Chains A and B, each alone.
Chain A
Amino acid sequence: MSEHADTHDHDDHGHHHKETFVSKYIFSYDHKMIAKQYLVTGIIMGIVGILMSLLFRIQIAWPEEPNVLFEALLGKWAPDGVMDADIYLALVTIHGTIMVFFVLTAGLSGTFSNLLIPLQIGARDMASGFMNMVSYWLFFLSSVIMIISLFVEAGPAAAGWTIYPPLSAVELAQGGSGAGMTLWLVSMAIFIASSLLGSLNYVVTVLNLRTKGMTMTRLPLTIWAFFVTAIIGVVSFPVLLSAALLLIMDRSFGTSFFLSDIFIQGEVLHYQGGSPVLFEHLFWFLGHPEVYIVLLPALGLTSEVIATNARKPIFGYRAMIASILAIAFLSTIVWGHHMFVSGMNPFLGSVFTFTTLLIAIPSAVKAFNYITTLWKGNLQFNPAMLFSIGLVSTFITGGLTGIILGDSALDINVHDTYFVVAHFHLVMGISALYGLFAGVYHWYPKMFGRMLNKNLGYIHFWITAICAYGVFFPMHFIGMAGLPRRYYTNSKFPLFDDLSDVNVVITVFALTGGVFQIVFLWNFFYSMFYGKKATQNPWRSNTLEWTTPVEHIHGNWPGEIPTVHRWPYDYSKPGHDEDFVQQHIPLKEGEEELQH
């Protein structure tokens, strides 16, 4: 397992073998390169996912009107430029799948776990560089299959990203449930394998490869977040895999795990005895922890960015760890709040209401701790800091409505309406996306040795922040007015006619926000080659990754790995001249190691 790392221990310079283009950029074992591969793949998938959302937002705002964009991008699915109802559902489905799994799971956690775990704990590389490489290439393969599924004759999967059977299982129910759904399932199965390989690697690396002095309570909160996220992933992803496999069995081999008593298009199907509710249980056993798989890394990155840029220790370090652990534990016993009206026993609904609302407590602690960290700080508004503050803001707004949705009695009336869409987009979608952006702006110098343009960063943040609120805040209200989600058009319900202008406003914000991501893309790819050269520790940060040279080398440190003497949050500590003290600097005589 550690053969790879060992070679480096004996080789101080890290240039012991000649690198070819293929071994450096493609089948690389190096965690830093793999992180970049994850990031670039994630960004490309993100472009696809966001573009899809813009298309269906246009349809919702101006239903059934011809549009050149549809004609150009959707081809046969937009006869005369009018979007087809099936492709609308497919766009919604694939948008959800791509954003949740490919961008915010692999793109976020994959990138930063890979980049930061070895660098921040003081390791030469991941525990298994080979497994790490396999993990990335499986992710790449699953992305390719997902993209290919878009071009299937009968249409891509269109049963919603939750793919509830029978809709997803029976081809007669929907065109997208044919080859499109098969590819979706294959892609996801491979994705899960990738995610599991990655997660196991992260857990092992954090447990075994910490440098001397790096105790668990001296780990930066980023590492805590990645570590716990990986554990949640290992616990819950296999359950989704089993659900996917059983669904494949039902679809292709005639079993009846999830299906029973179906009469469709004039024929009775042979299925007997299965239950779609079983699938819902299995799906949400991953599906809910998945929210935290997406969110925790973002919160971890934010903790680090906020502390560094506030020039202040993160407030309540131990409470932060405790709330990460509490959230992780609770996240595995709340899945039923997605199923209050699924037909399961109402008593179960009571239990899940109880556990769900409990999650608000550690979440509130985290939010308050962030706010207190800002208090009496010396805030440096680098773009990463703006995105981190933005994250706290959307995390609060989105999280608060969870109190309504987690309450089974209230969920009856807002379940599956736009209220839900608003809630989860703010609390996990936008928040996690902000976390991703904060991470990219903050660690770009570490990844590419160059700086991102800060002014473009400011423009990117402020426009995105305004548009994100503009899109998702009004959605709460159309949801409370009873508007169901996933409707191709609301024109069949005159009842909702007075909501159509809200939908136009939302779409205009969405289009603006979507288009302005170009600023980020441009900044990202341009700065890679022409950005200002980075210094070793541009943000004057405490953590170990900033003690490595700007140029990437195998094994990360040219000499010995530094020994750690203190926690990572000694910012503005009295008794020091600088307002930061890096982790590898020994305690002064008589200095107390204050770390709580």
Chain B
Amino acid sequence: MTTFLTILVLVSITVAIWQMVKIFDLTNANRPNTEIANDKDNKINGYLMIAFLVFIYLMMIICVYLYGDLPLLSNSASAHGPQIDNLMIISLVLIFAVQILTQFLLHYFAFKYKGEKGRKALFFADNDKLEFIWTIIPVITLAGLIIYGLFTWTEIMFVEEDEDTVVIELYAQQFNWKARYAGEDNVLGKANVRLIDIDKANILGLDESDPNAQDDVITTELHIPVGKQILFKMRSQDVLHSAYMPHFRAQMNCVPGMITQFAFTPTVTTEEMRATEQMQIKVKRINEIRKEKSKELAAKGEEALEPYVFDYLLICNKICGTSHYNMQMKIIVESEEDYKAWLKEQKVFKNSLVKN
């Protein structure tokens, strides 16, 4: 309803403006060329250019002040995270500098050289030196960025697997995630969606005859040990999904019919992350918002929202259907002992099958 009223108000504003314009036009009825900018228009719009420049700057300042320090930008929880963040910050600084400078030149020139009757513009069609300068500067800057970016990318994507690497399968389906651990033998059993047998509770389509599959563990929560390289092998059973773990600066699509992979080393446990000052501020802020919302909900007779506790998340980030907006899995980063203890409690594949 509020929206509808807002729109009504806006429409009436439009009508009002139109009427003003109409009156303005009537007073000008007899002059020729009234629809072409005259000196007065040039002056007004010239000043508006400066006003608009101020608006852009204000917008930038406000956004950076309010949202520039979102914890997701500055405290990553993986080994390669700081590298990405560094590159991101360098790029952002560069972008802001260029944005501030070029927008200034554009709008300032627009203001400074606003048209006046009788003045003639400078006939200035070409200057090789200038053009060379602003071709070569981007070339050099971009070369730097490309080289830095490619090194980072190569380091992240070309994974060197060693004995210590923990291999975990991420399995996507509309609209939830499963994780599969390799078990004692550290080898994931063979699997294909054609082997799925819902009646026997073989939900990921593991090959029941594969000895490597017997000790695999399937869970709905992702636990990973801190400080160890985790290699994710990703599968999807139906449509494209994307395994997005923003806190770890990690993302890879899950593609039906093929196995994709991404590896990272978690460096901060869930507990440690919760304890950081930045995260506590964020959680507090969120909980205040949730409290406010709960009050509104209570007034409507609905249930209040639960208070928020920080957890790492695996989010689906590729449009996958109706409930795409709620396809998530909790990630818990913990010490290796805790991780091993937790894993031991889980049922292994051969014991999880329903026997006929």
Chain A residues engaging chain B, CB cutoff 8 angstroms = 58, 62, 67-69, 85-86, 89, 159-160, 164-167, 170, 173-174, 259-264, 266, 268, 273-277, 310-319, 341-343, 346, 349-350, 353-354, 357-358, 360-361, 364-365, 367-372, 374-382, 385-386, 389, 392-393, 396-397, 400-401, 403-404, 407-410, 412-413, 415-417, 451-456, 458-459, 462, 465-466, 469-470, 473-474, 476-478, 480-482, 484, 486-490, 492-495, 497-498, 500, 502, 508, 511-512, 515-516, 518-519, 522, 531-532, 535, 538-539, 569, 571-574, 579, 594-596
Chain A residue at minimal CB-CB distance from B51: A462
| A274 CA / B240 CA spacing, docked (Å) | 13
Interfacial chain A residues near B258, Cβ < 8 Å: 260, 275, 277, 343
Which residues of B283-325 are within 8 A (CB) of A? Answer: 285-286, 289-290, 305, 308, 310, 313, 315-325
| A164 CA / B157 CA spacing, docked (Å) | 24
Q: Is the CB of B124 within 8 A of A396?
A: no
| A518 CA / B7 CA spacing, docked (Å) | 12
Interfacial chain B residues near A377, Cβ < 8 Å: 109, 113, 115, 121-122
Chain B, residues 318-338, CB within 8 Å of chain A (1/0): the string is 111111111010000000000
Q: Is the CB of A493 within 8 A of B313?
A: yes
Which residues of B118-132 are within 8 A (CB) of A? Answer: 119-127, 130-131
Size bracket, chain B contacts: 35 or more
Interfacial chain B residues near A276, Cβ < 8 Å: 240, 255-257
| A179 CA / B290 CA spacing, docked (Å) | 41
B229 at the interface (CB under 8 A from A): no
5 A-B pairs with least C-beta separation: A260-B257, A346-B157, A482-B246, A451-B35, A381-B45
Chain B, residues 242-271, CB within 8 Å of chain A (1/0): the string is 101010011111011110100000000000
Q: Is the CB of A263 within 8 A of B237?
A: yes
B280 at the interface (CB under 8 A from A): no
Interfacial chain A residues near B286, Cβ < 8 Å: 494-495, 497-498
Q: Is the CB of A357 within 8 A of B59?
A: no
Q: Is the CB of A173 within 8 A of B1?
A: no
Chain B residue at minimal CB-CB distance from A174: B321
Q: Is the CB of B239 within 8 A of A166?
A: yes
Given known pairs A367-B102, A511-B10, A596-B125, the reply for A375 and B256 (CB within 8 Å) is no
Q: Is the CB of A516 within 8 A of B322?
A: no
Q: Is the CB of A396 within 8 A of B174?
A: no
Partner of B142, one of A361, A374, A495: A361
Interfacial chain B residues near A400, Cβ < 8 Å: 95, 98-99
Which residues of B61-102 are within 8 A (CB) of A? Answer: 63, 66-68, 70, 72-73, 83-84, 87-88, 91-92, 94-95, 98-99, 102
B201 at the interface (CB under 8 A from A): no
Interfacial chain A residues near B275, Cβ < 8 Å: none
Partner of A516, one of B10, B198, B255: B10
Q: Is the CB of B193 within 8 A of A261?
A: yes
| A516 CA / B310 CA spacing, docked (Å) | 42
Q: Is the CB of B91 within 8 A of A572?
A: no
| A264 CA / B175 CA spacing, docked (Å) | 11
Given known pairs A357-B145, A382-B36, the reply for A365 and B121 (CB within 8 Å) is no
Q: Is the CB of B328 within 8 A of A379?
A: no
**Could you name 24 residue pairs across A and B whose Cβ atoms are closer than 8 Å?**
A58-B3, A167-B239, A170-B238, A260-B257, A263-B196, A276-B255, A312-B121, A349-B153, A364-B138, A378-B113, A382-B37, A389-B49, A392-B106, A397-B99, A403-B91, A407-B146, A412-B249, A412-B251, A415-B244, A416-B318, A474-B63, A492-B325, A495-B308, A595-B125
| A500 CA / B125 CA spacing, docked (Å) | 49
Q: Is the CB of B59 within 8 A of A365?
A: no
Chain B residue at minimal CB-CB distance from A312: B121
Shortest Cβ distance from residue B139 to the other chain A in the assembled complex, whole angstroms: 6
Given known pairs A410-B88, A497-B289, the reply for A268 and B194 (CB within 8 Å) is yes
Q: Is the CB of B174 within 8 A of A358?
A: no
Q: Is the CB of A455 within 8 A of B246?
A: no
Q: Is the CB of A261 within 8 A of B4?
A: no
Interfacial chain A residues near B105, Cβ < 8 Å: 371
Shortest Cβ distance from residue B329 to the other chain A in the assembled complex, whole angstroms: 12
Shortest Cβ distance from residue A211 to the other chain B in the assembled complex, whole angstroms: 23
Q: Is the CB of A469 within 8 A of B18?
A: no
Tell me the dominant secondary structure on chain B's binding face. Answer: helix
Given known pairs A400-B95, A522-B18, the reply for A453 and B324 (CB within 8 Å) is no
Chain A residue at minimal CB-CB distance from B133: A368
B192 at the interface (CB under 8 A from A): yes
Interfacial chain A residues near B109, Cβ < 8 Å: 371, 374-375, 377
B41 at the interface (CB under 8 A from A): yes
Given known pairs A349-B153, A381-B46, A413-B246, the reply for A261 and B239 (CB within 8 Å) is no
Q: Is the CB of B249 within 8 A of A413?
A: yes
Given known pairs A261-B192, A455-B25, A482-B72, the reply for A516 and B14 (CB within 8 Å) is yes
Q: Is the CB of B322 within 8 A of A174?
A: yes
Given known pairs A261-B256, A313-B125, A376-B124, the reply for A266 and B84 (CB within 8 Å) is no
Interfacial chain B residues near A569, Cβ < 8 Å: 125
Q: Is the CB of B14 within 8 A of A519?
A: yes
Q: Is the CB of A86 within 8 A of B322?
A: yes
Most B CB within 10 A of own CB, among A318, A343, A350, A370: A343
Shortest Cβ distance from residue A204 to the other chain B in the assembled complex, whole angstroms: 30
Q: Is the CB of A403 within 8 A of B121?
A: no
Q: Given contacts A453-B25, A492-B328, A497-B286, could you give 10 more A-B pairs where the C-beta distance is less than 8 Å?
A: A164-B239, A166-B239, A262-B238, A316-B127, A368-B102, A381-B45, A393-B106, A396-B106, A477-B68, A574-B123
Given known pairs A389-B106, A539-B36, the reply for A477 and B125 (CB within 8 Å) is no
Q: Is the CB of B257 within 8 A of A315?
A: no
Q: Is the CB of A413 within 8 A of B84?
A: yes
Q: Is the CB of A342 within 8 A of B193?
A: no
Q: Is the CB of A262 within 8 A of B256?
A: yes
Q: Is the CB of B154 within 8 A of A350?
A: yes
Interfacial chain B residues near A86, Cβ < 8 Å: 322
Q: Is the CB of A342 within 8 A of B253?
A: yes
Q: Is the CB of A489 within 8 A of B325?
A: yes
| A318 CA / B135 CA spacing, docked (Å) | 14
Shortest Cβ distance from residue B94 to the other chain A in the assembled complex, whole angstroms: 8
Interfacial chain B residues near A532, Cβ < 8 Å: 34-35
Interfacial chain B residues near A164, Cβ < 8 Å: 239-240, 318-319
Chain A residue at minimal CB-CB distance from B1: A68
Given known pairs A416-B317, A492-B325, the reply for A173 and B174 (CB within 8 Å) is yes
Interfacial chain A residues near B150, Cβ < 8 Å: 350, 353-354, 408-409
Chain B residue at minimal CB-CB distance from A450: B35
Given known pairs A342-B255, A376-B124, A481-B67, the reply for A409 and B152 (CB within 8 Å) is yes
| A508 CA / B10 CA spacing, docked (Å) | 11
Shortest Cβ distance from residue A565 to the other chain B in the assembled complex, whole angstroms: 17
| A266 CA / B290 CA spacing, docked (Å) | 38
| A376 CA / B49 CA spacing, docked (Å) | 16
Interfacial chain B residues near A484, Cβ < 8 Å: 244, 315-317
Q: Is the CB of B42 within 8 A of A379?
A: yes
| A54 CA / B102 CA spacing, docked (Å) | 31
Q: Is the CB of B18 within 8 A of A519?
A: yes
Most A CB within 10 A of own CB, among B46, B99, B238, B256: B256
| A159 CA / B240 CA spacing, docked (Å) | 11
Partner of A312, one of B114, B123, B152: B123
Given known pairs A85-B322, A484-B317, the reply for A407 and B149 (CB within 8 Å) is yes
Q: Is the CB of A573 within 8 A of B123?
A: yes
B107 at the interface (CB under 8 A from A): yes
Most A CB within 10 A of own CB, among B1, B18, B285, B310: B18
Q: Is the CB of A376 within 8 A of B95?
A: no
Shortest Cβ distance from residue B178 to the other chain A in the assembled complex, whole angstroms: 13
Most A CB within 10 A of own CB, among B41, B289, B322: B322
Chain A residue at minimal CB-CB distance from B259: A343
Given known pairs A261-B257, A275-B257, the reply for A266 and B91 (CB within 8 Å) is no
Q: Is the CB of A412 within 8 A of B156?
A: yes
Shortest Cβ distance from residue B270 to the other chain A in the assembled complex, whole angstroms: 13
| A266 CA / B59 CA spacing, docked (Å) | 51
